[in-house]
Structure 1
Amino acid sequence: MSDLTQRHCAPCEGGVEPLPRDQAESLLTQLHADWSLSADGKEIAREFRFSNYYETMAFVNAGAWISHREDHHPDLEVGYNRCRVRYSTHAIGGLSDNDFICAAKMDDL
């Protein structure tokens, strides 16, 4: 289990720099191998696959609960048996620790 799952998101209203690419790449190693860093280094994404719509929606609802508790929200693209999750801290225009904390918690689902 990643120690990221034991952490909680810190409020981010901007005014801080996004994580540099090398730090984002280091944190990415603590997540499931299916997570990827965008070419510009400003977001991480993973596609989750399921057997049916019910399982997909159960995952989406559980992810919404995590997002609510952490007050950090991903962009979701939902289909019948898949959900693409993208994290970026919009207030700073790139990645923060919060993105990796929430991604690790989504992995645990």
Structure 2
Amino acid sequence: MSELKQQTCEACNVNAPKVTDAELAELMAQIPDWSPVVRDGVMQLERQFKFKNFKLALAFTNQVAEIAEAEFHHPTLVTEWGKVTVVWWTHAINGLHKNDFIMAARTDALLSA
């Protein structure tokens, strides 16, 4: 299996499968800095990224926006002074799909780009 960040997202609809518990464990091992969280009954992936100032945080937010637009898969982005919180989940299925893990891995890759 290729690295998550090199995989492509697939189009999802309401019938797309959510990740299973076994898949969740396997995929989380590939993005260890992310946390699975449940909000309003919906499983999501969340990570906070720290920066030296607001300008760097905003630049990172814009980079995440670019990769989100490229895949037409959009996260929640909260930009603050020195911090960006990114939350991925698949709205169509109200939960986690493999696409979310791909996008989390691509988000991580922005830091090494």
With structure 1 as the length reference, what TM-score do the two structures score?
Answer: 0.91
Q: Please report how far the alpha carbon of residue 56 of structure 1 lies from its aligned counterpart in structure 2 after TM superposition.
A: 0.3
Superposed CA RMSD in Å reads 1.5
Q: Which residue of 2 aligns with 1:13?
A: 13
Residue range with higher mean Cα deviation, 11-20 or 91-100: 11-20
Q: Which residue of 2 aligns with 1:30?
A: 30
Distance (whole Å) between structure 2 residues aligned to residue 104 and residue 41 of structure 1 = 20
Per-residue deviation, residues 80-100 of structure 1 (Å, max 9, x unmatched):
110111111010111001100
Distance (whole Å) between structure 2 residues aligned to residue 25 and residue 37 of structure 1 = 10
Which has a greater percent of strand? 2
Name stretches of at least 5 consecutive residues in structure 2 with no aligned partner.
none
The percent of aligned pairs where both chains have the same amino acid is 36
Amino acid at match of 1:25: A
> How many equivalent pairs are there?
107
List structure 1 runs of 4+ shifted beyond 3 angstroms.
none
Per-residue deviation, residues 54-88 of structure 1 (Å, max 9, x unmatched):
10011001100000111111111110110111111
Check the 8 A contact 2:43/2:95 in 1, yes or no.
Answer: yes
Within a 5 Å distance, the mapping from 1:15-94 to structure 2 comes to 15-31=15-31, 33-39=32-38, 42-94=43-95
With structure 2 as the length reference, what TM-score do the two structures score?
Answer: 0.88
